[in-house]
Amino acid sequence: MALAGKADECHAALQRAERALTAPHASRAEWFSPFDANSLQVDVARCLLQLGDLTAAVDVLDGIIDEQPVGRVRSQALARLLLAAAMIGQGRADEACPVVHQAMEQSTGLGSAVVVGHLRQVALLLRSHVRHCAEVPPLLGRLQHTFRERNWVAAPLPNA
């Protein structure tokens, strides 16, 4: 819904998701990754960004980044990268740079194509700030190094 720009429908779907998350449910297999309130908030923020509501996205992300359980490395990295994207969109690239560094440090060794994709998106957003933000060029260099290190994550599978 957010991708289609249907804000009302998107917000209604997010409200249904929140209700479903709090409803009693059957137990799941232990290999199943838990989807909790913080996971939902990351998705809410992603939708808000897609809808162009940067301020609301920042508010949601600020509220969950420090509250996420320590073991949820991927969710923490995604939240930080979404926050950085929102900050860059607000013209706050200087504040976004440390957030991106934190996300990279957190996700070292994490095999997540989604995280790598968000790192690439943030790198694209940062490129327009190279000339007026001194923190951006070294960060882009670090991101390039990170892409080389993690190129196996997004590599296509060989034909069988």
Instruction: Please give the mean pLDDT across all residues of the chain.
Output: 85
Task: Assess whether pLDDT exceeds 50 at residue 160.
Answer: no
Contacts of 24 (CB under 8 A, 6+ apart): none
Tens digit of each residue's pLDDT (9 = 90 or more) over 106-150:
888 877 888 889 999 999 999 999 999 999 999 999 999 998 888
Q: Give the chain's radius of gyration (CA, Å).
A: 17
CATH number of 7-20+37-149: 1.25.40.10
Token pair 């939902």 is at which residue?
40
Helix, strand, or coil (residue 112): coil
Helix, strand, or coil (residue 145): helix
pTM of the model: 0.82
Rounded to a whole number, what is the largest CA-CA distance in the chain?
54
